[in-house]
Structure 1
Amino acid sequence: MSASPAAPSRATDNRTWAAAAIAQLHREAARSADTHLLHMQFAGFPGIDFYFKDEAAHPTGSLKHRLARSLFLYALCNGRLREGQTVVDASSGSTAISEAWFARLLGLRFIAVMPACTAPAKIDAVRALGGHCELTADGTCTQARARDIAAGGACFLDQFGLAERATDWRGNNNIAESILGQMAGEPHPQPAWIVCGVGTGGTSATIGRYLRYRGLESQLCVAEPSGSGFVQGWRSRDPRARATRPTLIEGIGRPGVEPGFVFDVVDTVIEVEDADSIAAAWWLEDLLGRRYGGSSGTNLVACLQLAAQMRVRGETGSIVTLLCDRGERYAQTLFDRDWLAAHGIDPNRAQARLASRLRTA
């Protein structure tokens, strides 16, 4: 006599739900058109083409849209995320906004552990997407607090611990593959430089690995606030390195070396003063007609420095960088003159310095 079939297990039920969730994420990716690659030329740099990858065009307004999707997929495919489970992560804002959006898409509750000094518009955006913001005091480790919440049963997405492995760096329309595909028909299809900042380390690791995987001669420059944890760690290859100064530029300039920092795929690092990053962000609004955040300004300053070096050597070619997130999120901080004055930043002086660099950098 044959045995009756066993009742579906809880694991089987969750696998069915996870398969449906993964399919939903794949459909979302297919619906999202690739972000634009904006082309610019400047009279002071003849023969050098500048390209700006507009990651702010994603549905959640930043390049972290790609990361958030990858983190959810990674959690689902590793069996760590279950139907009805709360999701938590530590974030200064842009990742949290993207994660809140994907959590809502999958019908999951989301908690963002954020520094209390996070730009108010970012906090409002997470809440508008149905997320809960737990704001921490200065000096509190947001990642430790997120782990504490996860100990109670939530799924910790862990952007800082998992970003460099959650993203498929060999392809799958990652940011590096997207850039090189869009550059294929340009006058200089292999960029001399690709420039990005470092938050979790996922973007720089993906780009650096992909360039080597494809056997390309393009080099990777990391643009960071002066004295950041990545800067100190890259120089010394010391995982215990700490930042020598704080920064006002959210999303990059981590105080210490994060697990996702892959130093050996980075060819050079350029340090940028906060005032210059902010001035460049203001200049981007004049140039492109919309606002972008401070990390986009940091990238631009590094691009101009690299272009100046190419000009001195008589080189031509292309430089590609990222427009990381929407500047409207910083209306009460980086684009507020009173806030800047309170932090000792004179935008007029910084902008004059940037204009001088454009002429003589």
Structure 2
Amino acid sequence: MVVLLYKSGIPVKLTNDFSDLRFDIEGFLIAFTHKAIIEKNIITTKYAFHHKSEFKTNDKKRSDLIDGFYDEDQFLKYTESVIFNIVSASDMIYKHKFNFDKFIAKANDSISVSVTNFDAPYELFYDRKKYDFLIENLSDGKGLRSYSDGILDGFDVIDYKLKLPSNYSSSIVSIQNQVNTPGYHFYAKNLGNFIHQYSSDEEKRKFKKITILIIFKIREIINEIFPNLLLNVSTEKTLNDAANSINTDLDNLTNFEKTLFLLKKSWGYYYDPSSILPHKSNLPETFNENSTYSDFEYYYLGLVSFYDEFYKIPQTLAKAPELKRYLFILTLLPINALSLIPIEVTKSIIESFIKKKYLAEYQKRFLTRLIVSIPFSLADSFLDYLAGMQ
């Protein structure tokens, strides 16, 4: 199987020792599992692409440090170790970086690249567009051409897109089993049902893309972050029991559990349009007809920060007491996600801050974000509450 590496766009030919392949929206390989035999033992290692910017501040200056695919377990040990370097930058560079040199494809090898399709029909959930072509040499014959092109924001390259050759064929590939998934319902509720209010295809495509990116990031948070958040504090069963209850209140959940529950509910993970249960029959809106593109983008960037910060500290997160995990979440959630926190929880947080003689700068910023997140429908009662505290 021939695939394109993220960033470089270089085609490589993978053997059966590669599995669990993950691709980004442009069809570039971003993660995989590789099986190797070392001293007669079969060793399976997960690798993921990491930028230099993800390394520790002092290590970013190293001339031998480059972007690439690194052993994910070792990388997390490296990023999480603060006082003692359990895994050093040198270890990452010379022991735990995958070398693709012997897997480089050859000219005339065939390749199929599937990219996420954000085109019409805009009211429907996404599908993929598959491009088929043959690998080509550079015009000077010195190596293979790259199929990656930088996406610029001003003068800065912020990401990479597929650069197609002149000769290719394309087809639309439907995504199976997407109907009635959380992402399917989130998309319909928060964009699909009103996307035709936008006049141009360009605008519709832009809104569809950012919404799909939000859904993909939510999936990553659910699959990779929530298991650590729930470990030794709560279980998925606790939250599912609340979703299956006939009671609308969540008094049996801690504030931490309420927050996780309400996030999952807003993301469509409990929604069932055929259910009569109060929490399953209702999908709260995150966006509506009046939401601007900046609202969508802000939410997406908040989810990215949420994911990135938690993904780097799996052991710290797993060992942290519930209160600390709760504060982690509140600090990192975007404002429109903070609005999901029950008003009584918001009040108790504000009261705890008022009792403090001194607030650090980050605490002041968080308190400001928390107050700004109060839903407009609760603004008057919240102002009355603040006035009563004087």
| Short-chain TM bin | under 0.3
Q: TM-score, normalised by structure 1?
A: 0.26
**Structure ranking higher on relative contact order (CA contacts 8 Å, 6+ apart):** 1
Larger radius of gyration: 2
Q: TM-score, normalised by structure 2?
A: 0.25
